[in-house]
Amino acid sequence: MKKNTGVHLTPGRLFVYVLMCLLAVIYLIPLLWMVRTAFIPSGLALQPFAFAWPTFGNLEHILNVAPFSLYYANTIFIVFCTLAVQFVLITLAGYVFARLDFFGSRVLFVLFLTQLMISPDVLILPNYQLMQRLNLVNTRAGVMLPFFASAMGTFFMRQSIKTIPYELEEAAKMDGCGLLRMLVQIYVPLLKPAYAAFGLISVSFHWNDFLWPLVMINSVGKRPLTLGLAIFAMSSETGAQWSDVCAATFLVVCPLLILFFVFQQQFVESFIHSGIK
């Protein structure tokens, strides 16, 4: 006789499910309101129960009055160039801390992780002074350079590499495989879930970063999306046109939402396999 392995819906479990659904709805209200306001005629934006067919007029208007296409290009360039350099550096650093045993490696790793306890906002002044000495103020390179080395990414890669059997590396060395080839052909394919998870974290952080670009960028042609959105929302021409502001906000957050829905499975799997809880 088979046992019933189904989950019993106890009153306590039912209460937790209802509470979770209620909280999910509450958290979704601002997002749904933003999307609704972005695609409704501006005259009905402040009427909560107004109904109208969706319109793209608000999106067309903000694309005409502000260079959001240029802001998109700047943001994509900054985010993915930073991510490309981070992938290279965290792979090398993660391998060193995971596989190489040298004098002071643990102390160095602990010192390296102290970066996680320091807020990036605290380092704005010294980073700005350094960028000023390097003549990188008001440049996209100056926005990217302080984030090339990621302590969180290095820790994440170290934990992921430790889950890969060392016998694979020994077999590759016996076949005469060099270090660079071994990293590219063995470790990189096995670290794809970790790359996807860290990529989501890095992209979302730099896509939404506002304070550091605000300090570094002065010219209109080099503004990222967050800076352009803030200036657009505060401009006197916009005023209280909430449809335009919500349409601009929709343009900013939409790529991140799509990115997360596409890679959410890899994001969860990477944390499971790396042992990070």
Same domain, yes or no, for 190 and 212?
Answer: yes
Same domain, yes or no, for 145 and 265?
Answer: yes
Per the domain annotation, does 46 fall within a domain? yes
What does pLDDT average to over the chain? Answer: 83
Per the domain annotation, does 6 fall within a domain? no
Q: Which domain holds residue 267?
A: 63-274
- Is the confidence at residue 88, as pLDDT, over 90? yes
Same domain, yes or no, for 110 and 226?
Answer: yes
What is the CB-side half-sphere exposure of residue 125 using CA atoms within 13 A?
Answer: 1
Per the domain annotation, does 205 fall within a domain? yes
Q: What is the pLDDT of residues 229-263, one digit of tens each?
A: 888 877 645 455 778 888 888 888 888 888 777 77
Residue recorded with tokens 């200036």: 231
Same domain, yes or no, for 133 and 40?
Answer: no
Angle among Cα 237, 242, 246 to the nearest 5 degrees reads: 110
Number of separate domains in the chain = 2
Same domain, yes or no, for 44 and 79?
Answer: no
Same domain, yes or no, for 28 and 161?
Answer: no
Per the domain annotation, does 5 fall within a domain? no
Same domain, yes or no, for 48 and 147?
Answer: no
Give pTM, 2 decimals.
0.81
- Is the confidence at residue 108, as pLDDT, over 50? yes
Per the domain annotation, does 3 fall within a domain? no
Q: What is the pLDDT of residues 157-196, one digit of tens each?
A: 988 888 888 888 888 888 888 888 888 888 888 888 888 8
Rounded to an integer, what distance in angstroms lies between the CA atom of residue 222 and that of residue 213? 9
Per the domain annotation, does 113 fall within a domain? yes
- Reported confidence tier of residue 213, pLDDT bands at 50, 70, 90: very high
Same domain, yes or no, for 190 and 234?
Answer: yes
CATH number at residue 132: 1.10.3720.10
User: What pLDDT score was predicted for residue 165?
Assistant: 87
Structure tokens that stand for 41 in this block: 């005629």
User: What pLDDT score was predicted for residue 272?
Assistant: 57
Same domain, yes or no, for 153 and 258?
Answer: yes
Same domain, yes or no, for 228 and 126?
Answer: yes
Query: CB of 210 within 8 A of CB of 120?
Result: no
3-state helix, strand, coil in the chain (%, to 5): 75, 0, 25
- Is the confidence at residue 144, as pLDDT, over 90? yes
Q: What is the pLDDT of residues 37-56, one digit of tens each?
A: 888 877 776 777 777 777 78
Same domain, yes or no, for 100 and 22?
Answer: no
Same domain, yes or no, for 26 and 93?
Answer: no
Structure tokens that stand for 27 in this block: 């958290």
Per the domain annotation, does 15 fall within a domain? yes
Q: Whose CA is closest to 153, among 115, 187, 99?
A: 115
Rounded to an integer, what distance in angstroms lies between the CA atom of residue 40 and that of residue 56? 8
Per the domain annotation, does 79 fall within a domain? yes
Beta-carbon contacts of 228 under 8 Å, excluding residues fewer than 6 positions away, are: 66, 67, 68, 71
Q: Whose CA is closest to 195, among 275, 256, 269?
A: 269
Structure tokens that stand for 259 in this block: 């990115």
